[in-house]
Amino acid sequence: MNDATIRYHQVRQKSTHNSYQRTESYPAQALYWRIRSLEIDIHNSNNAAGWPQLNGNWYVYHLAVIDQVSSVNTLADALDALLAFHRAVPQHEVVTLWLDLKDDFNAARDQTPESLDRLLAERLGREHIWGPPDLIGDCTDLQAAIAAYGWPSLDTLRGKFIVGCTTGDLASPNSVLNQYVQNGATANQRLAFVTPEITQAQQIDQHACAVMFNLSAAHTALANAVFTAGFVGRAYGLNDANSWATGWNSRAHHLATNKVNADWDGWARTDLPMTGYPFTGIEVTLPPDLTESGALCAIKVDSGDIWNKRDSGYFRFDRATIGAERTLSAFVANPQSHTDGFIKGGVMARATTADDAAYIAIFQTAAHEIRMQYRRDNGAGTEKIDARLPNGVNGKPVVSSNTPIWLKLTVRADGHQAQGSYSIDGLIWHAVGEIGVSQTLPLQGWAASSHGAGSVKWLFGGAKAPTESTVFGNSATGEFIADSAPAASLGPYR
């Protein structure tokens, strides 16, 4: 059995609850931790905090004033961060987005069902969204369409997003879900599936426009009835091993938890341990070597820091010919939690393999700013330039400092100078700085360090892998993993 025969409703997957509140950014959750089910709470305003009104967009936070920390400022920013992951792994397994609609729609500010769909299509690309218009066929309602056609196979959903809208139920004609589908009248045309919360099995077939259902931890057992009916269930609040096991055994498709880091909370996993494939079968057995499409590499490093007068880390590089401008770009990902905040991974151009050699680099860290680092001369100290993220209209950064995964270093033709840039969406680049050093920098590639945190795995991709390796520092060790499956793997279940 492979993903050409497995359908969407035949697999369970880890889902993150309030994904924007987690220490790990949206791209890190998807890329590093193998999560393909993510939640975004959206509000049409935040008057209590005095934030300016938006038009055709929504703020992302949990509760006004008292709990509004978020790794993304608006829905558009969240979609840009997810698009960065999509550009890193274009043929990724299907990603399911749960939009928790916290407020009523507001036509006066272009916050309508139509504008929500438009924002999704503009940011993600309509061709990358599989929704009700792609399911309905010749049927009159979505439940009938599931009965007639079933859910699509995973291979037909590669590179796509499915969106479900949550909050409340469909019993009230004025509920926000009914606003989105005009009490079912427009459900077949909307880009997202309404996903009502249910507390009783008889609610499953009460509304023909609902084929996805939301279940609190107290009602997780209802996932059995949802599965039997051929629909899709999401159970949330599964924040300990017992509630997770209940969700698993109840055949819930999406197991939503606050626990992202699978090294720390080893019970919260659905990935295949050999390959990092994100799903596990429900009443079907997936081949243990099933692998997500895409080219991933990894550097495992146990080192000190790339800093001061001598570096400690791992460097994978090619020997470039000086005389023509060369651009090095790559995406990177790291655990972002339960590790040192100053672990570093990124793109480097270096004079030699000596640990005190001149270099210019741009790095992602676990918990701090994107930064350019450089040593102007062999044996000199290290200097830095921290990136400044753009702010939204409310004065808040559009994304958290550890959200951007795309890095670029443009080495000028003279080999002495380079510009560092980062991208939030994988398309638009933001310059951090341009630096010149005394030596030419012919060694160009990927570098990583663990800052004394023990062995840390960094993911790399987005370009052809460099071919040579070296380790800086007497006590540093490392290895390069060139194949996608072992690079993506989270290791054996613990």
For 305, residues 6+ apart whose C-beta sits below 8 A from its C-beta are 311, 312, 313, 342, 344, 449, 451, 452
CA distance 242 to 222: 16
- Quote the CATH superfamily of domain 8-281: Phosphatidylinositol (PI) phosphodiesterase (3.20.20.190)
Q: Indicate whether 364 pLDDT > 60.
A: yes
**For position 65, what pLDDT does the model report?**
82
d(CA 390, CA 401): 11
Q: To the nearest 10°, the Cα dihedral for 364, 365, 368, 371?
A: -40
Q: Reply yes or no on whether the pLDDT at 494 is more than 90.
A: no
Cα distances (angstroms) measured from residue 171 to each of 31, 167, 298, 361, 472: 38, 12, 49, 56, 63
Mean pLDDT for 356-367 is 99
User: How does DSSP assign 159-227, residue by residue?
Assistant: T-EEEEEESS-SSSTTSHHHHHHTTTTTTTTSSSEE--B-SSGGGTTS-TT--EEEE-GGGGGGHHHHH
pLDDT class of 66 with cuts at 50, 70, 90: confident
Burial per residue of 251-275, b for 16 or more beta-carbon CB atoms within 10 angstroms, e otherwise: bbbbbbbbbbbbeebebbbbbbebb
Picking from 443, 453, 446, 448, the residue whose alpha carbon sits closest to that of residue 478 is 448
Q: At which residue do the structure tokens 């924007």 appear?
A: 20
Q: Does the pLDDT value for residue 337 go beyond 60?
A: yes
**Cα–Cα distance, 224 to 244 (Å, whole number):** 14
Structure tokens at 194: 């309404």
Spatial strand order of the sheet with 359-365 comes to 383-386, 371-375, 359-365, 344-350, 443-449, 313-319, 468-472
Domain 297-488 adopts which CATH fold? Jelly Rolls (2.60.120)
Confidence of residue 474 (pLDDT cuts 50, 70, 90): confident
Q: Is 352 exposed, middle or buried (0-12, 13-18, 19+ CB in 10 A)?
A: middle
**Cα–Cα distance, 211 to 233 (Å, whole number):** 9
Task: Return the pLDDT at 339.
Answer: 98
Query: What mean pLDDT comes out for the span 293-299?
Result: 96
**Look-up: residue for tokens 């951007």?**
404
pLDDT digits (tens, 9 = 90+) for 365-402: 999 999 999 999 999 999 999 999 999 999 999 999 99
Mean pLDDT of the 244-261 span:
99
The predicted-structure confidence for 269-284, as pLDDT tens digits, reads as follows 999 999 999 999 999 9
The fraction of the chain above a pLDDT of 70, given in percent, is: 99
pLDDT band at 186 (very low <50, low <70, confident <90, very high): very high
- Token pair of 290, please? 């099933």
At residue 2, the pLDDT reads 62
Query: Domains of the chain: which residue ranges?
Result: 8-281, 297-488
Chain segment 192-236, per-residue pLDDT in tens = 999 999 999 999 999 999 999 999 999 999 999 999 999 999 999
Give residue 246's pLDDT: 98
